[in-house]
Amino acid sequence: MEQNNTNENQNKTENLNTNSNTNENKNLLNNNSNVNSNSNSSQNQFGNSTTNSQNVNYQSNYNIGGVQNSNNGNYHNNFQNYNNFNSANNNVNSANTNYNNTNNNFNNANNNFKNGNFNSNSTYQSIKQPKVKNKNGSGFGKTVLVPFVSGLLGAVIVVGTCVGVPAIRNGIAKQIIGTSSSSSSNSSSSTPILNTQQISLEAYSDTAIAAANKVLPSIVGIKIEFAVNSIFNRGTSVSSAEGSGIIISEDGYILTNNHVVNSSSSSSFYEVEEASKVTVKLYNDDTEYEAKIIGTDEQTDLAVIKIDKTGLTAAELGDSDGVQVGEFAMAIGNPLGLSSSVTSGIISAVNREVTDEDGNTYVAIQTDASINAGNSGGALVNSQGQVIGVNTLKLSGTGVEGVGFAIPINSTKDITDQLIKYNKVKRPYIGIGGIELDEETARVNNLVVGIYVKQLEDFSAAEKGGVKVGDVITEVDGQKVTTMDEVNEIKNKKEIGDELKLKVYRNGKYIDLTITLQEQP
C-alpha cells in the first residue's frame, strides 16, 4: 500500500479520521470486528514535503454469528516520496485502519465492508490503492534519493575517521579547546576554562614520561660523611647521610639544600661535625665524584656544591611565580638511597608559609607528590620538565600523608648567584635582638605595642644610628610593625647601604631615627 501525506494535508487527514470514516467504523463494530495494528513511522523532510514511511502488521479477529475466523496478514508497504502533492490528491490515515481517498472513492460498497456480507469461509485480500502517477516525480531516486544516501554515507565515513583515528581526533580536540580558550579570553581573561573533555590516560602517561626523561639526567644523588662525638661512644664515629641535588651548569655546579651538606649540630649528648666528605653520583653513572662545598645559606636552606666534570646536562629552570594550584607536579630525587626515583602529584598550594625545626620560615610550594628522606635538594618539576622548586620539607606523623614543600625556584636564583660569587649571601643587617610586645605585655610594663630592643650588637647599623636598649620600635619606613618577621621583611627588600627610617618609643616619647644598613657579618 502506498501512502503520501504532505504537511499541508495533515489537518485534513485528522478531520477525515474523525468525521468521514464514521460509517466504516460503525460497520466494523456491527460485525464485532477487532483490528489490532502496530505501526512504526518515520518522517523525512525534503523541501516542504513530509512523507510517512510505515511497516504495518495487522492481525484481525472477526467474530460473526458465533463463528470466529482468524486471518493474519502482513502488509509491508514501501512508500516513495512524491513532491508537490496537495491536499486534493491523496489523504490516507492508517492509525485507525480507515482508508479514505477523495480521488479513488473508497467507500463501504466498493470494499465489501457491509453488514452481513461476511461469512465464516470468506477469504480476505489486501485492498491495493490505485497508483497515482506523479508527473513531477519522474527520476526522484536519481535526483534526490541517491545524492541524499551518498551524502549521508560520506558524512558517516568522515565522522568515523575523525573519531577512530587518534591523531586526527586529538588534533581536532586541540583546535576546539584552543578556539574556546581564545573566544573565552576575549570576554574574561581572568576566568579559567574548565576542560570537560575526557582526558586520555595515554596522553597523561606520555606527559609524565617526557618530563621525567628530560630532567632525570640533571638530578644527582649526594652522599656525605661526617664525624659524630657522643658521650655514649666515648669517642668519635663516622656516619653518613644521603640527599639529592640539581645540576645548574654544564661545568659541575649543583644546587641542593643546606641541611643536606651542612651537618653540624650539637646537643648535650652528642656533637655532629661538619661534613668531612661529599660525593656525587650522576644519572646512570655509578662513579662517585668528590664534590666541594662552594657556599651555604642557613636562612634559605640552600647550598651550592661543585664536581670537577664538564659536559653535564643542566636542568631547565621554570617560572615558579606562574605555578597554579592543581597543575601537574613531579618530584625527582634520591629518597632512602633509591637513586633517580620519580613520584608525581599536583600543586596543592602556593605561597605557603612553613617553619622548620630550626625556626627558619619559608614561603614554599606545597605538593602531594611523595617526598621522603633523601628527596631533599631534588627537583619539583612541571609538565614541561622544568624545575619549579627545590624539594625541602615534608610533614610527618600519624595520619599525615602527601604534604610536602619545595622552595620556589625563582627565589633561589639570586641566592645561587651569590653563593657561587661570594661563597655566602650578602644581606642588609640592622644588629638588634628584640622581644615582641602585645597589648597586654605593653600595658603591664607601661610601654607600647612593638619590638622591644633587648640586645644591641656592637658597631652595628642600629647602634650607629642611635638605637638604644629599652627602645620600642613601632614603625619601619612608615609601616607599623609588631613582630621581628615584619621588620625583616621590610629590611630584606633593601640593599646594603640603603637607609631605613625607624620610629621608636623612648621614655614616653616617640623619636624618629635613620640608620644605614650594613652587610651581615
| Distance (Å, whole) CA 253 – CA 412 | 14
Q: Which of 259, 341, 368, 460 is catalytic?
A: 259
Of the candidates 463, 453, 448, 447, the one whose C-alpha atom is nearest the C-alpha of residue 433 is 453
Output the CA torsion 78→82→86→89 (10° steps): -60
**Residue with the three cell numbers 490528491:** 89
Q: At residue 174, what is the residue type?
A: K
Q: Which of 301, 344, 460, 471 is catalytic?
A: 301
Residue 177 three-state SS: helix
Q: Which of 339, 376, 460, 471 is catalytic?
A: 376
DSSP run (H or E) holding 45:
strand 33-46
Catalytic residue at 259? Answer: yes
Cell of residue 446, nine digits: 607601661
DSSP run (H or E) holding 151:
helix 146-164
Catalytic residue at 301? Answer: yes
For 65, other C-beta atoms within 10 Å of its C-beta total 11
Q: How far is CA 370 from the centre of its chain?
A: 19
For 340, other C-beta atoms within 10 Å of its C-beta total 19
Catalytic residue at 376? Answer: yes
Of the candidates 36, 37, 31, 34, the one whose C-alpha atom is nearest the C-alpha of residue 120 is 31
Torsion sign (Cα): 145, 147, 150, 156: negative
Q: Are 69 and 84 in contact (CB under 8 A)?
A: no
Cell of residue 249, nine digits: 651548569
Q: Which residues are catalytic?
A: 259, 301, 376
